[in-house]
Structure 1
Amino acid sequence: MESKLYYSLEYADDLNCLLSSAEDGAQIERTKTLFEEIRASVNNNDEQDRSFWRPVLPWGGVYTIRAGRKAISCTPLYVKISLKNTCTIDGFLMLLYVILRENHTFPREVALFLGKEFVEHFLHLMDSYDYTTVKLLWIWDRMSKRQYRSEIHRTALEIDLFGNEHENFTKNLENLMSTAQESLCTSWACPQLPGAPPGIISISPPHELPHRDLIQSAVDEFFCPRILLCKELGCDGLREFSHRVFCHGAPPFVILNMQLWKSEDLAYVPYHLALSQHRYLLEGATLFNREEHHYSAAFQIDGYWMHYDGLRSDNLILLSKPPELLLLSSLVYIRESDK
């Protein structure tokens, strides 16, 4: 189902208004980052207490924002933005936070694509437990620039993110993970159109099961050069595709969309991935509960795996076994050299 964003420009000037409102509120004096507190809870955990001490990124959210100048005559002067079905971004926001906090050089690299101000505010808001503002930061700064259509509601503000997490999150990282491949036809009469436009890594299940790891084989096939029959109208030549490369160098992390893969065919998920002359390590995954139409996430800290589910009261727990009744939605790998 297509997600829709409802907001009124009468009530929100821009992203700076959102951030200044958050900074005006009471801030918690912190000696540790949220990541450091989660790491400490993992290392000090026992069998009787396997959950983190407070909810992290709870599902949904309500944000009160001051009315803009054009709404001075309105009653009341403050309006509430209601967030619904935020699981399509919650899991990835949690994974993004862990990745940036655990790898010191990654914030600078990611800032080249998302913006330095965005990365700084994102980390600050997460460490301040200001989770609703974190979600609005992503929505207004990233998502609203891509695929959302705006409609004005005079009585309420509502952002409903029901839909697909790859549409709501991964699409906005295309520049970070973009790849390119050149192609050239052997026929002199061919229009010689360029290769496919840049896009993120897209792997599909193999038609025949290879003798080695399925995911590594699919990634190798995506990046390797190949020769195919040219599909241009009236051309009977062969089109040669070059080795695929990252447009901006090897990214700090990659997200593999696994929605087309069957869980029963993935008895093994590789912890290491050879990718464009770099070695990547499995850092996390997002999971889909078909019965609830709900996404959650899993990630590791110091070798321990944790499960995050914004719908639960104890929404961050140490895993003793893989979550049940869940399908794999995505895999997230980080570049090893910066681990």
Structure 2
Amino acid sequence: MESKFCVLNDPEDLQTLITNTENRLQFERSKTLFEEIRASINNNDEEDRSFWRPVLPWGGVYTIRAGRKAISCTPLYVKIYLKNTCTIDGFLMILYVILRDNQGFPRELGVFLGKQFVEHFLTLMDSCDYTTVKMLWIWYRMSKKQYRSAVCQAALEIDLFGNEHDNFTENLENLMSTMQESLCTSWSCRTRFQELLKRTVIINPPHELPPRDPIQSAVDEFFCPKILLCTELGCDGLREFSHRVFCHGAPPFVILNMQQWKAEELSYVPYHLALSQHRYSLEGATLFNKEEHHYSAAFQIDGYWMHYDGLRSDNLILLHKPPELLLLSSLVYTRASEK
């Protein structure tokens, strides 16, 4: 994508840019990006298995006009260089597919992220304004302490190097927040009653592989009640943990943090998951290349699986089999219809 020239001094300026993009989109496009990808899948053949245009290329350059109170009469334009954006790219792509493929989910997600944010996100993706999409996420969802930035002359560099769950999953507000109460059997325990809150769903592998699906077993372990030795210093009581529940009801989608799992523990990934009295279906996954410290993503549309990698020239391709030599970073499940 070409860099965009605009005045961007505060969130209101970004809002103006987004509004202009929405107005332009009404005249320029008859299909959403999701519809174009779906059409590409249905019309594809074995000789051409890639999407016809790049989607969310790695990095990005965003050009802004310097402050309104600049002394010089000649406008000063500053370039923002985005680096190592793979920590948000794959999830942004999966989020877009989820929202376009599930009619009621944009409204549900708008409760957590804001209706305008969700609408702007979808509009910018449909207009293929990918650098602005990334700036939207960085500006509104991330804290400055989550990325490194450096100013050099008339350029600003935002480096998103790090962990994708830090940069994306934990910025989904309270969408996947869960709560579990615990009570120690010892009356003298200094912290006898506790409420344990978690904002993400981290699934730890079992010490011994269970006879049935290990991922479903690990999910059940995360949510089920349990009794453990109290860890409070000087306490010899037992701590009883209640059933873990979602603080705001079953979310439209759940991201399972799978970073603690080894490849040999993931020979089987379930397409369906029982979670919080709901049935969830596998929608996508993010993958990690340890040698390159690089994330990519896979997701499905109409039963066809696609691999997205922002570093490729053809960065969205149909899959015959899972990508090789990659570790699983996360699994993404969407809540099935209640029909």
Q: What is the TM-score when the length of structure 2 is the normalising length? A: 0.92
* 1:93-145 deviation digits (Å, cap 9, x = unpaired): 00000000000110011111111111010000000110000000000100136
Does the CA-based 8 Å contact 2:105-2:252 persist in structure 1?
Answer: yes
**Separation of aligned partners in 2, 1:31 and 1:104:** 18
The question of 1:27 aligning with 2:33 is answered no
Match of 2:196, SS state, is coil
**Separation of aligned partners in 2, 1:16 and 1:38:** 32
- Which residue pairs with 1:6 in the alignment? none
1:105-184 equivalences under 5 Å are 105-144=104-143, 147-148=146-147, 153-184=152-183
Q: Which amino acid aligns with 1:273?
A: L
- Which residue pairs with 1:98 in the alignment? 97
1:303-322 equivalences under 5 Å are 303-322=303-322
Instruction: Quote the offset at 1:189 in angstroms.
Output: 1.3
* 1:265-313 deviation digits (Å, cap 9, x = unpaired): 2110000001111110000000111222111100000000001111111
Q: CA 1:229/1:47 → structure 2, altered by over 3 Å: closer, same or farther?
A: same
**Separation of aligned partners in 1, 2:325 and 2:236:** 49
Question: Structure 1: where are the runs of 5+ without partners?
Answer: 1-10
Match of 1:175, SS state, is coil
- Which residue pairs with 2:4 in the alignment? none
**Separation of aligned partners in 2, 1:128 and 1:237:** 59
Q: CA 1:220/1:74 → structure 2, altered by over 3 Å: closer, same or farther?
A: farther
- Which residue pairs with 2:3 in the alignment? none
- Which residue pairs with 1:337 in the alignment? 337
- Which residue pairs with 1:295 in the alignment? 295
Match of 1:334, SS state, is strand
RMSD over aligned Cα atoms: 1.9
Does the CA-based 8 Å contact 1:180-1:245 persist in structure 2?
Answer: yes
* 1:177-228 deviation digits (Å, cap 9, x = unpaired): 0100011111111222413233321211111111111100000001000111
**Separation of aligned partners in 2, 1:117 and 1:47:** 40
The counterpart of 1:14, out of the listed 7, 10, 14, is: 10
Match of 1:206, SS state, is coil
Q: Which amino acid aligns with 1:16?
A: E
Q: Which amino acid aligns with 2:14?
A: L
Give the total of aligned pairs: 329
Q: CA 1:51/1:206 → structure 2, altered by over 3 Å: closer, same or farther?
A: same
Instruction: Quote the offset at 1:23 in angstroms.
Output: 4.1
Question: Structure 2: where are the runs of 5+ without partners?
Answer: 1-6
Does the CA-based 8 Å contact 1:285-1:298 persist in structure 2?
Answer: yes
Identity of aligned residues (%): 79
The question of 1:46 aligning with 2:45 is answered yes
**Separation of aligned partners in 1, 2:158 and 2:338:** 36
- Which residue pairs with 1:3 in the alignment? none
**Separation of aligned partners in 2, 1:74 and 1:206:** 65
- Which residue pairs with 1:264 in the alignment? 264
Q: What is the TM-score when the length of structure 1 is the normalising length? A: 0.92
**Separation of aligned partners in 1, 2:297 and 2:198:** 28
**Separation of aligned partners in 2, 1:338 and 1:106:** 13
Structure with bigger RCO (C-alpha 8 Å, 6+ apart):
1
**Separation of aligned partners in 1, 2:306 and 2:210:** 31
Match of 2:44, SS state, is coil
The question of 1:251 aligning with 2:251 is answered yes
**Separation of aligned partners in 2, 1:83 and 1:306:** 25
Structure whose residues are more often strand by fraction: 2
**Separation of aligned partners in 1, 2:147 and 2:324:** 33
Does the CA-based 8 Å contact 2:33-2:126 persist in structure 1?
Answer: yes
Instruction: Quote the offset at 1:27 in angstroms.
Output: 3.0
Does the CA-based 8 Å contact 1:195-1:241 persist in structure 2?
Answer: no
Does the CA-based 8 Å contact 1:57-1:90 persist in structure 2?
Answer: yes
Q: Which amino acid aligns with 1:55?
A: P
**Separation of aligned partners in 1, 2:294 and 2:200:** 24
- Which residue pairs with 1:4 in the alignment? none
- Which residue pairs with 1:58 in the alignment? 57
Instruction: Quote the offset at 1:255 in angstroms.
Output: 0.5
